[in-house]
């Protein structure tokens, strides 16, 4: 089992935190993907990977989300493929069966947080307030997605959270772009960022995979 593979049932929260750290540390920028057409799954993933983005969050915002996760795990085992927009236990169970290697939620409820504790997959809960961090913290979570990041206070909010929550680190998503990505990544309590600016819908619709690749490479170059 590689360091990016899901662990077996009974994995501790500490081990899940360490796994999230490895996943996010390798990713730095996590493309948040919504698949509109099944035919785009492999060429889009290949273009992102060619640009250096090899850790992907495939959302369940379309009917092709689970198909994409299954196909990528089967056909592109070198990539790290997570599931996004997971809203409840049934969706969590579905992405586990599809082979997702990590799970991201846009928000948190007590039920989904508890389901994440029970799951063999590491879960990155979405939060936008200190109270939500505390809900997760009480169950052992120390890694969160700030969403929607810019609307929820952006880099200033994450810096402020560092005071009361010294052990917590974040993946800000929502409004992250080439103009502010360095500001986020400069924060000690940011482990990676989620973004969509390398996923222009017209490029994907027209099969302009070279543009996706170039934009992905440029995104990573901003952090060097």
Residue 170 and residue 137 in contact, taking contact as beta carbons nearer than 8 Å: no
- Phi, psi at 146, each rounded to 5°: -85, 115
Burial class of residue 116 in the structure, from the number of CB atoms within 10 Å of its CB (0-12 exposed, 13-18 middle, 19+ buried): buried
CB 130 within 8 A of CB 104: no
Catalytic residue among 54, 57, 132, 150: 57
Helix (H, G, I), strand (E, B) or coil at 57: strand
List the structure tokens of 133.
Answer: 């961090």
Interhelix angle 110-118/89-98, rounded to 10 degrees, is 30
182 among known catalytic residues:
no
Query: Would residue 54 show up in a list of annotated catalytic residues for this protein?
Result: no
Backbone angles phi, psi at 171, to 5 degrees: -120, 95
Spatial contact of 16 and 143, defined as CB atoms under 8 Å apart: no
Alpha helices, DSSP H, located in 35-75: 41-50, 65-75
CB of 25 within 8 A of CB of 171?
no
Please provide residue 170's backbone torsions phi and psi, each rounded to the nearest 5 degrees: -130, 155
Q: Exactly one of 16, 54, 132, 145 is catalytic; which is it?
A: 145
Residues marked active site are found at: 57, 145
């Amino acid at each position: 089992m590689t360091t990016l593979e899901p662990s077996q049932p009974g994995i501790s929260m500490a081990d899940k935190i360490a796994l999230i750290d490895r996943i996010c540390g390798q990713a730095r920028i996590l493309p948040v993907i919504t698949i509109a057409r099944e035919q785009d799954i492999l060429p889009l993933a290949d273009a992102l990977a060619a640009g250096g983005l090899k850790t992907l969050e495939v959302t369940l915002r379309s009917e092709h989300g689970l198909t994409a996760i299954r196909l990528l795990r089967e056909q592109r085992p070198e990539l790290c493929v997570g599931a996004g927009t997971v809203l409840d236990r049934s969706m969590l169970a579905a992405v586990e069966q599809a082979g997702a290697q990590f799970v991201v939620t846009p928000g948190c409820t007590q039920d989904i947080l508890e389901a994440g504790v029970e799951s063999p997959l590491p879960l990155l809960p979405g939060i936008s307030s200190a109270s939500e961090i505390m809900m997760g913290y009480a169950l052992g979570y120390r890694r969160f997605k700030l969403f929607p990041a810019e609307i929820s206070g952006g880099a200033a909010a994450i810096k402020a959270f560092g005071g009361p929550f010294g052990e917590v680190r974040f993946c800000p998503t929502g409004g992250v772009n080439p103009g502010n990505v360095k500001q986020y990544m400069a924060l000690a309590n940011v482990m990676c960022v989620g973004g969509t600016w390398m996923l222009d819908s017209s490029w994907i619709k027209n099969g302009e995979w070279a543009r996706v690749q170039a934009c992905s490479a440029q995104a990573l170059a901003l952090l060097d």
